[in-house]
Amino acid sequence: MRYVSRVLQPGETVSYATTLHWCIYLRAVAPFLVAVAVLISPAYIPQFPPTLNWVVQAVAGLFALLGLLRLLSGFIRRKTTEFAVTNRRVIYKFGLIRRVTFEMNLSTVESVHVAQSILGRVLNFGQVEIRGTGSSFTPDNLISDPLTFRSHITARE
C-alpha cells in the first residue's frame, strides 16, 4: 500500500486495501511438475540409453527455469499491484517500471459487478468491475476477497 498511502489527500483515510490473490503463483506449478516428470521418466522407460541423461537434465532444467521465471513474475506482479477503497475514492495501481493507476470517486460509482468462477469461490478470488458515471474499469480478475472489496465500495459511510 505504498502508492496509496502517498496519494491520500488531507482528511482521506483507507477503509479497505487488498492485493492479488496468492493463486497467481499457480502458473508456476505446471512447469515445475513437467520438470520433475521429465527427470523421473528415464527410470520408467525400459532400456533408456544413459548417454541421453544430459538431454533429460537439460530439458528438465529449462522447464524448471520457466517455472522460476513465472514464479518471479507472479511475485513482482503481486507486490506491485494495489487495490484500495478510501472514504472518498477507489484506487487501483499496477506496474513496476511503468505505473498505471485508475481512480474513481465513490460519489460517481453507480454499480459494482463481481464475477467468480467455481475455483474463485472456493479460493476466494474474483473479478470486480466498477461502473461509474460515464466510465467503468475492471481492475483485475484475481482480486483477493472480491466481495469484501465490493462491500467497502458500496457502503457509503
Question: pLDDT of 91-108, one tens digit each?
Answer: 999 998 999 999 999 988
The residues near 72 (Cβ < 8 Å, ≥ 6 apart) are none
Any idea what the Cα angle at residue 55 is, between residues 49 and 58, rounded to 5°? 150
Give the residue extent of every domain in the chain.
2-20+83-154, 25-76
pLDDT tens column, 62-81: 999 999 999 999 999 999 99
- The confidence score (pLDDT) of residue 140 equals 79
- The confidence score (pLDDT) of residue 156 equals 64
The domain made up of 2-20+83-154 has a fold known as: PH-domain like (2.30.29)
Within the chain, which residues score under 70 in pLDDT?
A: 1, 156-157
- The confidence score (pLDDT) of residue 43 equals 79
- The confidence score (pLDDT) of residue 54 equals 87
